[in-house]
Chains A and B, each alone.
Chain A
Amino acid sequence: MRHIVKSLLIVLGIVATIFLGRHFLTPDSWGKYGHYRADYIDEEANRSINYGENDSCLKCHSEVVDMLKHGEHKTLSCEVCHSPLSEHIADGKKIGSMKVPTGNEIDKTCLNCHQKNVAGRPHKFPMIDKNEHYKMLEIRADHNCNQCHTVHYPKENINKAKSLSRNLREAVDNEAK
C-alpha cells in the first residue's frame, strides 16, 4: 500500500507548493487595507497630470487670465482651446507652443459651444447661427467671430462700442444744444 502513502504525499506536496507560492508571490503590500495591493493607490496617485488649471497659466500669462476673469468666458478652462499644459511645459522648461486657433479654427471653436439649432442645448445658453448673424449685421461671410468678439472677453469690444456710441450721441446732442 505504499503507493497510497506516496499519492498522499504528492497531494500534500502540491498543496504545500501552492501555499508557499502564495506566501512568496503575493505582492508585498497586499491586504494592508483590503484584498488588493495597497501600494498601487499611491502609484495611481503619482501618475503625472497633463492638465493644469487656470492658475497654472496665471503664473506667466496673468494679463490674459485677468481678462478672462472679467468676461463671460470666466468659467472656461484655458487648456480646452489651447491644449494641455503638459504639451507646453515639462520639467520646468517650455517644450512646445500652445495651440492658438486662427482663422476658421476660431469659428469652429466658438461654434462648438454656441452653434444654434442643436437640439439638446439649454435654451438660455447664448447660441448663434453664423450665417443668420452675419446677414443681419451685414458682415461679409469670410469674417471670423473674433473680429468682433475678443475670444477671451467676448463682449469687450461690443461694450466699448456701445459706450463710445453713447458718448458720441451725448456729444452730438450737446453740440446741437
Chain B
Amino acid sequence: MKLNNFLNNKNITQDVIDLDRRGFINKFLEGTVAGSLFVVVPMGAGDIFHELAEDHEKNLLAMNPDAKYVFIVDITQCIGCGSCCVADKKENNVPDGQYRTWVERYVIDMLENVYVDSPNGGLNGFNEQRTDIENEIRDSFFVPKLCNHCEDAPCIQVCPVGATFTTPDGFVIVDGTHCVGCGYCLQACPYGVRFINEKTHTADKCTWCYHRVRKGKLPACVNACPTGARKFGDANDRNSEVSKILHSPAILTVLKKDLGTAPALFYIGKREEVV
C-alpha cells in the first residue's frame, strides 16, 4: 500500500519513475540477484564439510534422566504451512500415506458445525479454502498433532514383547528390531499417532526426534516451524522457553485428558472441539 502511494506520488521523482517504472524496480532487483548469488557460490573448503559431518554423526549427549521434556503446541501461532510435516517426513523417511505428525484444520461455523480436514496430513499446506461451508465462520485454526509421549502410555502397557518403552529420559520409542508387528499399540493409542510402517512392517511413530535431541538439536518439526507454534524443551531447565511458558499464566491443555494417559504434549489455545 505504502509502495503504491509512493509510486503514485506525483510530487516526487515522477519523471524518473513514470518514464521507466519497470527499470526502477529492476534496479532494486539487481541488488536482490547479487545478494542471492552469495547463496549459490560455495564458500567452504573441505575442512568445514568435515566439521559438519562430524557434527551429525558423533557427539551423542548423555541421557539426562533429570530432564522433563515437554512439547508445547501453540495453536494460536500455527499458520498451517505444513513445513513441520515436510521436515518430519524427510527427517524420518516416513512412507507416503503414513504420518508421524500432521496438521488438522478446524473450521467452526455460527451454528457450531465443526469441519475438520487434513489433506495429505497437511504436507502440502492449506492453500485452498473449504468450499462446503455455507454459514458464516465463527472460528478457525490449525492443530498440529504428534505423539503425546504419555507418562502412562497405553501403547507401552499393551505391547506384548516390550518393544515399545519409555527411555530413562522420558521418550516413548519403538524398538523396531524387536517389534512383532501385531498392531496392538495402534489399537491402544487414543491419538492415532501410531502406524505399521509399510517398509519395515513394525510399529512406528513420532519420537520427538530422539536422535536429534541426543545430539543437542531440536526436533525437525520444531526447527522447521516458522512461527514458533511448536516448542520443545526441558521443563526442569528454568531457562528454557517451555519452562517459562509452563510458569506463565498461559492455559495449557492436553488431548483426551479423561483417558488418564498423562500426555507430555501440551496445547495453548486448544478449543473444546479439538479431539
Contacts and interface: CB of A to CB of B under 8 A. Distances in A.
B3 interface: yes
A136 interface: yes
A119 B32 contact: no
Interface residues of A, number: 76
Q: Could you say which interface size class chain B belongs to? A: 35 or more
B195 interface: no
Interface in B35-74: 35-36, 38-40, 42-44, 46, 48-57, 60, 63
B32 A56 contact: no
A112 B128 CA distance: 10
Nearest to B76: A122
A151 B33 CA distance: 10
B43 A118 contact: no
B23 interface: no
A24 interface: no
Contacts of B48: 59-60
Interface in A81-129: 83-86, 89-94, 100, 111-113, 115, 117-122, 125
A4 interface: no
B227 A75 contact: yes
A90 B55 CA distance: 11
Interface string B128-169: 111001000100111000000000000000000011111110
Contacts of A120: 78-80, 105-107, 126, 140-142
B226 A77 contact: yes
A17 B218 CA distance: 47
A36 interface: yes
Interface in B6-30: 6-7, 9, 11-13, 25, 28-29
B91 A50 contact: yes
A37 interface: yes
19 contacts: A36-B163, A36-B164, A40-B177, A41-B168, A45-B210, A48-B211, A61-B39, A73-B226, A77-B83, A84-B91, A118-B80, A118-B128, A119-B129, A120-B142, A121-B79, A150-B32, A151-B36, A156-B32, A162-B3
Interface of A: 27, 30, 33-37, 40-53, 56, 59-64, 67, 73, 75-77, 79-80, 83-86, 89-94, 100, 111-113, 115, 117-122, 125, 136-137, 146-148, 150-153, 156-158, 160-162, 165, 168-169, 172
Interface of B: 1-4, 6-7, 9, 11-13, 25, 28-29, 31-32, 35-36, 38-40, 42-44, 46, 48-57, 60, 63, 76-83, 86-87, 90-91, 105-107, 125-130, 133, 137, 140-142, 162-168, 173, 175, 177-178, 207, 209-212, 214-215, 217-218, 220, 223-228
